[in-house]
Structure 1
Amino acid sequence: MNSRPPTVDVHAHVWLDDVEALAAGRPGYREHTELELRRAGTASAAVSADQAVRRRPRLTDVTTRLSLMDESGVDVQVVSVVPTQYHGWADRGLAAEMAATTNAGIAAHCALAPHRLAGLGVAPLRHPDLAVAALDDAVLGHGLKGVEISSHAPGVELSDRALDPLWQRAAELDAVVFLHPWGCTLDERLGRWYLSNSVGQPVEHAVALSHLVFGGVLDRFPGLRLIAAHGGGYLPLCLGRADHAWHHRPDARGCAEPPSSYLPRLWFDSLVYTPGALRGLVAAAGADRVLLGSDYPFDMGVADPVARVRAAGLDPAATAAVTGGNAQRLGLLPAAVAARS
């Protein structure tokens, strides 16, 4: 990292045993796990359970993590909790306890490699006032770069005005909000062939980002720094229909400008799998709005994120921006590295 700008993977995960220990056995946990099983289907759930066992060292052991980062050409990871550990069903007391435990756990993991790892905490969306407090705890209490959130929580959409204090506080702190859905509400319709993830995650991104755009959140909080995982799902390349609705229907005008105009106000990770898709994302949002992402260490992620960006054939400046420059401008380098930059 001394002779060139660092490569920064903004989409990498950690598993925290302490969080799961808090959740297990609490009221609502059994119902939550049953819903997850229905959504995934038994065949996919069995594969995922096997993956969880085999990939556990990559999620918990920092030596293993650093070795795999070296193999993939990644200098820095911005790590966040595995989304199955959001536990959005939790009541107020448990939600506050789990958020504090998550923030502390992420910070402790990053402290094991302070020159290579930065972290994101969580904010329990179901309880908006607690979400603000959790953001403060993450950024001010533990030195994290922001928080990871899902596409919704029970009874709460990202467009709800109750979340305005969270967006306001994130803008005030220059904190990053990392949108990473988990659990598509199409439920059993996606319970075969792993559609719950391959289709469900992009759908959840499209719905969540549409709430932020059409709901006027980005108008009210232009300083919000939000990164969408998985390249933003279906939304970035499919906004022509949304623009048409905005122009032709008064009920579709919850935002001040056509929906496509908001893409350059958001950030997206590069996890779109093919060179053509990445070129399309860069064309839609701008090279300054795409950041390296791998979804480490899951099978829907990629082990060679830097190589995949280079394979897209972007110009050198765009490649440098995506692989690390944009993350650096968003303040996502570890404090120990940023001090030397």
Structure 2
Amino acid sequence: MTEANPVVDVHAHALFPPIEQRVAELDAAGLQAARELEIRRNGESSMAASGQMITSRWSLLTDLDTRIEAMDASGVDVQLISPSPSHYYPFLGFSEAEQVARELNRSVMDLVAQAPGRLRGLGVAPLQHPDLMAPMLVDAVTDCGLDGVEIGSFGAAVDGGQANTVELSDPRLESFWATAEDLNAVIFLHPFGCSLDERLDRFYLANTVAQPAENAVALSHLIFSGVLDRHPGLQVIAAHGGGYLPTAIGRSDRAWEMRPEARVCLQPPSHYLRKLWFDSLTHDARQLRALIETVGVDRVVLGSDYPFDMGSDDPVHAVTSALADPAECADVLRHNAYRILGERERTPVQRSM
């Protein structure tokens, strides 16, 4: 690793309008119901503000030249592109979810191919269908040449007409974790939506409070269930600095010490924080320094949430202004991402969909 390693933003999104159109063709009723639920939960004023934000940043999300200009202006050499989480479509049935995931993976592949050396890519795997997770990971990594997939914090599966939640600890995901380990694939944990109740419907709490909470819950399922014991080679990056978990890890350790039902994992939960990766998007210099103190400077990577309003418009400066040590800055901005992504170039295997 050298200072020549590029500055890599591992948390950068893209929007693919043709995919939304495809979903409307496949399940118009499901898409409409999801939109109505979002309006009911968030309120019309919040939805209007979100719509205005997306409109004002549309070219940043969809136009390659605008993206590259923004990267250059902020000092980012490489973006690890992931689809906007609005592309998760958790309401889709099995066959529709598979079709959309394949098309979305190829959309990311095509975007990355237009900017070699500047863009890397993550696909998707539909968490609401555990049996699709491993095949869609293979589709993204092997067939499309991407670095891994982006997943949410939970999925809502439907089995025999009955809804049930798919947590990251779900035994049905074992083949997914094993495949991810075998492929050395990046798994980018990025919540979307809120499994908490209507108490968070006001004041944008479904984002400001729920997203860090969803990160903490999802990571806790990974840790406490022993997934990281069974698959120690996993490359999981947690968005938003891992949410609330790093700041409250002492309570998790206490539960592991005192409660038998919390002692499934082999080591105290704090041990596993150094097995995970965390992006730098904490919105607070003190919190970024606290995150580094808790998990180690070698486990934190640059993340911006480009180009959304809850992201950082100047992510490199956010790191350099928070950390006084140039070596620590270089680790977060450059070297740690190199350890995850390296110089590997995955070659897509051309197969029919």
Q: Which digits, 9 at most, give the CA deviation of each residue in 1:171-210, with x for residues without a partner?
A: 0000000000000112421111111111110010011001
Code of the residue aligned with 2:18 in structure 1: it is D
CA contact (8 A) 2:3 2:330 kept: no
| Structure 1 residues 334 and 310, CA gap change in structure 2 (3 angstroms) | farther
With structure 2 as the length reference, what TM-score do the two structures score?
0.92
The match for 1:5 is 5
Return 5+ residue gaps in structure 1 as ranges.
337-341
What root-mean-square deviation, in Å, do the aligned CA atoms of Structure 1 and Structure 2 show? 1.6
- 2:171 alignment partner, one of 149, 153, 161: 161
Deviation of the 1:314 alpha carbon: 4.3
The match for 1:216 is 226
The match for 2:350 is none
The count of residues paired between Structure 1 and Structure 2 equals 335
Deviation of the 1:261 alpha carbon: 1.1
Comparing 206-215 with 245-254, greater Cα deviation is found at 245-254
The match for 1:90 is 92
For 1:332 and 1:72, the matched residues in 2 are separated by 22
Comparing 122-131 with 65-74, greater Cα deviation is found at 122-131
Q: Secondary structure at the match of 1:182?
A: coil
The match for 2:16 is 16
- 1:54 alignment partner, one of 42, 56, 69: 56
Q: Which digits, 9 at most, give the CA deviation of each residue in 1:117-153, with x for residues without a partner?
A: 0000001112122111111111111110000000000
Q: Secondary structure at the match of 2:120?
A: strand
Q: Secondary structure at the match of 1:207?
A: helix
For 1:134 and 1:196, the matched residues in 2 are separated by 29
Q: Which digits, 9 at most, give the CA deviation of each residue in 1:233-257, with x for residues without a partner?
A: 1111111111111111111112111
Structure 2 counterparts to residues 46-125 of structure 1, below 5 A:
46-125=48-127
For 2:252 and 2:3, the matched residues in 1 are separated by 45
CA contact (8 A) 1:231 1:270 kept: yes
Code of the residue aligned with 1:86 in structure 2: it is Y
Structure 2 counterparts to residues 129-278 of structure 1, below 5 A:
129-154=131-156, 155-278=165-288
Code of the residue aligned with 1:166 in structure 2: it is F
| Structure 1 residues 153 and 295, CA gap change in structure 2 (3 angstroms) | same
Structure 1 moving runs of 4+ over 3 Å? 332-336
The match for 1:40 is 42
Deviation of the 1:37 alpha carbon: 2.2
Identity %: 52
Deviation of the 1:31 alpha carbon: 2.3
